[in-house]
Every structure is written in structure tokens, then in C-alpha cells.
Structure 1
Amino acid sequence: MGRNEAIEFSYDFELLRDTSQKAYIKRWALDTCINHIARTISQTKFEIMDAGVKENNSTTYYKLNVRPNTDESAATFWQKVIRKLIYDNEVLIVVTDTKDLIIADDFVREEYALYDDIFKQIMVDDFEFERNFKMSEVIYLEYNNESINNLLSGLFSDYGEIFGRLYQANLMNNQIRATLSTDANFTLNDKSQEAMQNFINKAYEAYASNDIAIVPIQKGYTYEEHSSKNASKTSSQIEDLAKVPNQLLSYVASNLGIPLPLLDGSVADIEAMTENYMKFCINHFIEKIVDELNAKLFSERGYKEGKRIEAVTIGAKTPLEKAEAIDKLVASGSFTPNEVRALFNYAHIEDEEMDKVMVTKNYIKKEDLSNQEQEL
């Protein structure tokens, strides 16, 4: 059930059908949050580093940042990875013989304590791989978020029922209600009853299909509407109806680490919230992806020699944005120029001066400065 979205959604639909067929609020809340995360991560660039030097001409760089496979761009591919990771709590990426990266739709995992786990019956659309894959041969990510599963199983059903009842109550309050009375001397027989029913049918058709409806009153009939008595309740119930999906969205966003104002745009200054979002939500996924890529694409020896993958997210600051901080780091002697370049994923410069600690006069004590001037 965890890996099949269609079956999962059908269970929710059956659960809410008696009270309301509004299970789509679950999809709306989840899709809004997951798409926000997926769009952010899809803009990440993966740098291939070899002893501090970028290798942007390699096949690995091309597959991770341009075209993972013949049918998808890198942005689309990583969006699908994140969606499947959150929805299914896991995602399996198979590396084919042509070095393409393929997301598995379904698979069977056999776990072993002291050996590599084995993945069998791997399905991609209607195609099934004939061979089995070891854990060391695939890219496998786990989300391990049990709380989101609790939301899926319990919270959505409760909110679906509340939303359904508010929806039905709102329909009832906006329903046209009227009574049709007859003259006291009017005899109700089969013919008159048929005539009354015809009048009611015509009135219903007029009100249902037209913005403005005029119904002639026949002799002996008195038509009176009672809908206006419920008009005062309508506005408040519409507001309550709108609050339920928003409250549900707030719970899901909090669970995934997304500040709600980033989704609804209710706050103009979102710089602090964006930084918090990148730190506690996006970086969590990036770390999982980078760690798995480094473990599967490079050997232990290669990693120790400096071969690794580093991610540059959209929230990363450029050297121009941090120019003042860089100047202070180098001028105070806290970092060498090459160490600062490494912080921004720039290649190491083979120059002795770039590896020296520099301290400007502003950071030297007056006594030391006067001694240096005397020596000069």
C-alpha cells in the first residue's frame, strides 16, 4: 500500500464516501507542500569534486544536472525523486548499463544482516528488470518520517469528515426552501394534485436553470419562500469551510518543516523564513541525496583521495553577497584565501600566497604594531 498511490487514494475515497466525497483535500495539502520542496531541490546543482578541483565535464555531472535518462530532464527527475520519497517513504534509483538513472515504480527488497540487501522484481512502468540488484549497485533513499504516515492514516480522515459535513451544511443553508399552500375550498384530488406537482416542477426548473426566475401563481395557490431565514448563517459557514483546508495545510507544512507563510504569501519579508526552510527542510533532503551518491558512485579509497559530490542549492550565498564577511575572515587571519574558496566550492589555487594566513593592521595590537614599525 505504501508504494501504490492509486490504491492509497482509493482507500481514502472509500473511507470518506459516506460523509463526503472530498478526499481531494488530502491530495491538495500534500501536493502543495511536496511540490514546493520538489521545485526547490530540482534547482540544486551537483558539483563533482576531485581533490578540490571541479570536474564538470564528466558523465556523472551530465547525468545529475542535465539528462539523467533519455526521457527526463534533471529538474523533472529530481522532482519525481522527492515526490516519491515523501509519498512512499522510500525511492529506488537504478543505474542502467548505459549509466542512465531510472526511478523504480515498484520493487521487492530482501534484507540481510551481514550482506547487501537484494532488490528484486523491479518495475518501471510495464517493464520488469530480469536481473536482481544489490544495495551497492543502486541508489536507495529512505525518508523515515513516521509522523507523516500517521497524518495520512488518521488526520486526513478526520478533516475529510469535518470538511464534508461543513460542505453539506453550506449546501443546505443555500437551498431554496418554499411552501405551497392551497385555498381552503380547494379540493385535492388526482387532477388537482397533478396540477400542483406540475407547478412545483416548473418552479424548480425555473430556479435551477436561470439567474432570474418568474413563476406565475395560479388561482388557489399561495407560494412563500423561507430561504432568507438561513441567509445569516451562510457567510460564517463559508468562512469555516475555507478554514478547514488551510488548517490541514498548516499541519502538513509544519510536519515537513515548511513555514506556512512561504506557501500562502501572507508575509512580505520572508528572508528569515526562507533561511529556516532551507536549513531545517531542504538541507535534510540534500544531505540524504549527497551521502547516498557519494557512497554509491565513489569507492572508499576515491572518497578519501578527495573525489566527492557537493550540492549547491538555490539558497547558497555567492561570494559577491558575502564579500564583506570574506574580507574579515581573511584579514583577521581566521582563514586562508584558499580555505575561503573551498567554502564557496571554488577550486584550490596552487599558489603559496593563497595558503598563507594574513592579518591586516586593523587586527594587530598596537604594541605589536609599534614593535614592527621600530624593527622596520
Structure 2
Amino acid sequence: MFQFVKKLFNKDGQLVDYYIDMMAEKNRLSQLALEIGFNKIADLISKCPIDVYSTDSDAIKTEYCLNVRPNPNEFATDFWKQVVMKMCTSSDGCLVVQMSDGNIYRAESFVQSDDVLYPRTFSNVVIRSGNRTYKLDRIFTSNDAVLFKYKNEKLLAYLNEINQENAIAWSAAIKGVKSKLSKFKIQMPGNIQVYSEKTRQPITENEYTEKIRKDLSSDDIRVIFSRNGLDISAIDSKSTMTASDVKALKDEVFTNVAIALGIPKSVFYGEVTEKSDANNEFITYAADPIIQELNDGMNGCWLSQLEWERGDRILINTDAIKHIDVIEQASNLDKLYSNGWSHNDILKLRGKPPIDEDWANARRFTKNYATGMDENTKGGDE
């Protein structure tokens, strides 16, 4: 990096404009790439249903809150997208608080205690619902508030690199190294004899060149008298980025951000199909770590230890992230039936409402899967 910077300085210690322009463009492209990447992750997670596994009678009410309407003024899809975006882009993370009526809200700002041996609390909480904010006069604990934070060491390392490069570029600009003054080329014959205007004594070529430089840089100068054979021409030393430079820089930045976020390049550029393995890699390496963070937070906040030990869970369901063509996948769905999936299980996989019939909840197994089951388990020949 520093060898590269050294090459960009000219012999007078001046930094070429190209470097400043490049870093400004790289910073802008990095922000754009991060916004694109986080939007893709947030869009994917926001379309996933949240399943509540519990024998408690409030489980259905909780599912409605998490999947349909978290609070009176927001819908679940947009709510969870905004949660993911804020937890990924804000260094403070995204705080979600639960009110006494069961509704949940995103916090616009808050103050977190610095407790170590005891659960931390959150005060001065300002919640957001749509475009409105409201300050709550209460203190939240880990039982009714969960702080979601995105931890990505690769991304932090990349952003730190960008910040270091920007610091070099902008500090150089602030110190005046980035010169906007015009530069000139002076050509004179070797046998020219020049005399000082004051002493009338001969002066050297370097002394005469310095005199012309001062004249050219003077604010008062309007006309310069040149001798026969003397040629003075302006040099435009400013370097600017071309369209091809920007494209190459964009590809570099987008690729680095995609790698840092765990997003396959083809997904980042939107060049994949439903059958592509890149979609599975995107879910596994980019979305799953954030989904696990959300799962841990919801279970740790909204379930007690006793409820968790008895098997209660709140989980984001990633089974149906990709579109399922029921005609094309009919044979595969049929195999699920033979492996113990009920009709309602299949409907849930497809995002359809269940059927309130006993047969829709019945589980069937082919004989090779039904070995060891009681005689009441329905099976079939294969």
C-alpha cells in the first residue's frame, strides 16, 4: 500500500489528483456495495416465516405478532427487513423492545448500561413505528428487550482498510499537497545570454528559470516578455478517472464486499437462476449467520430457561426461501409424504394455511421407513 502511495508522489512531494479522486470514488462504491449486499440479505430474511414451537396458548398470538403485525402500524416483512438493515449497518446494533401488550418495536436510539455481572438494561429508549418516533419513560431488561448485533471480522477488516486509505488521501489533501496551480514547461536555446535587470550582470540559466517561475506565479503579472528562442507552454498535470477506471474499481470493490459478506459474486450481481448452487451458498454463508443471531436473541429474550428446556423454540424457517414449483417438484413432495410428512406439513412448507382435518395431520410411512413402529401407524407398499 505504501509503495503504491510513494509512486503517486512527484519529485516536489505533490500527490497527483488521480489518487484523491480514486479514493473518493472507492469510498462511494464501498458504501453502495454494502447497501446492495445488506439489502439482499435483509430481503431474503424478511420473507422467511418465524415458527413458534410451544404448548402455551399464547403461541398463536406470538406467531401473529412475529409474522403479520409486530405493532399496530407496521407489517412484519418491512419490520424485520429494517431490523436486519439496522443491526448490520449500525455499530450499536438494533434494539427490539416488547411492550406489555405484546407488541414489539424497533428502537431508534437508546442508552445501554455497562453492567458485567448482571443483565444490562436499556433506558432513554426512543422507538420507531413507520416514520414516527416516541420516547418511552421506562427501563427495559433482557426479559423484554433484545439487542441484535452483526459481527463480521472480514467486513470490519475491509472497512478498516478503506478508512486507512481514505485517511492517507484526505490528510494529504488537507495539508495542501493537492496543488491546483498550473505548471509550465520552459525551453531556451543553449547559447542565450541573460542579464539581471538590477545589476546588469549575466545570470545563469537556473536563475533565469526561477525568475520566470516567480513571474508566472505572481498575482500581479499580466504580461511576460520573452527573448528570442524562449518558449513557455502550460502543462495540465491533473489526472482524472476515466470510465474504464471507474468500472475496474467498481468490480474490485463489489467483489471484495461480496466476499466479506459471504455473498457469491453471481448473486451479488443478480446473475443466478433458481437452480443455481450460488443461492444455497448465499443462504449458508451470508444469511444463516444473521438468522442464527436473530434466533438466539428471540429465544434468549422471549423464552425462559424452563420453557427452552421443555422444547419451546422461536425459529426463523429457511425451508421455503426459494420458490417451490409444485408441478415441477411433485415427485419430491410425494417422497416427503412417504417419509412421515403430513399434508399440513407440506402446506406449511409452501406457505399455505393448514387444513383443520384429522387426515391432514396424519403421518404415513412406506414399509422401509415404518420398521419398528406400532401397528396403528399407517404404511403402504413400495
Which residue is equivalent to 1:200? none
Equivalent residue in structure 1 for 2:366, among 352, 358, 362: 358
Question: Counterparts of 2:150 and 2:340 in 1: how far apart (Å)?
Answer: 36
Does the alignment pair 1:39 with 2:36? Answer: no
What aligned pairs does 1:72-91 form with structure 2 within 5 A after superposition? 72-87=74-89, 88=91, 90-91=93-94
Which residue is equivalent to 1:248? 253
Which residue is equivalent to 1:283? 288
Residue 258 of structure 1 and its aligned partner are, at CA, apart by 1.0
Cα offsets for 1:328-348 (capped at 9, x unmatched): 4554xx546479659838869
Which residue is equivalent to 2:331? 324
Does the alignment pair 1:155 with 2:161? Answer: yes
Q: Are the counterparts in 2 of residues 257 and 281 from structure 1 also a CA contact under 8 Å? A: yes
Question: Counterparts of 1:83 and 1:245 in 2: how far apart (Å)?
Answer: 22
Q: Are the counterparts in 1 of residues 68 and 76 from structure 2 also a CA contact under 8 Å? A: yes
SS in 2 for 1:97: coil
Residue 282 of structure 1 and its aligned partner are, at CA, apart by 1.6
SS in 1 for 2:250: helix
What aligned pairs does 1:145-294 form with structure 2 within 5 A after superposition? 145-152=152-159, 154-157=160-163, 160=166, 237-266=242-271, 271-294=276-299
More helix by share: 1
Q: How many residues in Structure 1 have an aligned counterpart in Structure 2?
A: 301
2:95 maps to a residue whose letter is: L
Which residue is equivalent to 1:190? none
Q: Are the counterparts in 2 of residues 336 and 358 from structure 1 also a CA contact under 8 Å? A: no
Which residue is equivalent to 1:120? 123
Equivalent residue in structure 1 for 2:63, among 56, 61, 65: 61
Residue 47 of structure 1 and its aligned partner are, at CA, apart by 3.5
Which residue is equivalent to 1:186? none
Residue 70 of structure 1 and its aligned partner are, at CA, apart by 4.2
> Residues 25 and 293 from structure 1, CA distance in 2 versus in 1: closer, same or farther, beyond 3 angstroms?
same
Q: Are the counterparts in 2 of residues 111 and 117 from structure 1 also a CA contact under 8 Å? A: yes
Residue 300 of structure 1 and its aligned partner are, at CA, apart by 4.4
Does the alignment pair 1:28 with 2:32? Answer: yes
SS in 2 for 1:134: coil
Question: Counterparts of 2:348 and 2:127 in 1: how far apart (Å)?
Answer: 39
The unaligned stretches of length 5 or more in structure 2 are 1-18, 171-181, 186-220, 225-230, 369-382
Question: Counterparts of 1:150 and 1:80 in 2: how far apart (Å)?
Answer: 25
Residue 305 of structure 1 and its aligned partner are, at CA, apart by 5.8
Residue 146 of structure 1 and its aligned partner are, at CA, apart by 3.0
Question: Counterparts of 2:114 and 2:167 in 1: how far apart (Å)?
Answer: 39
2:290 maps to a residue whose letter is: F
1:138 maps to a residue whose letter is: A
Question: Counterparts of 1:269 and 1:178 in 2: how far apart (Å)?
Answer: 60
What aligned pairs does 1:301-340 form with structure 2 within 5 A after superposition? 301-303=306-308, 307-313=312-318, 315-316=321-322, 318=324, 320=326, 322-328=329-335, 330-331=337-338, 334-335=339-340, 337=342
Which residue is equivalent to 1:188? none
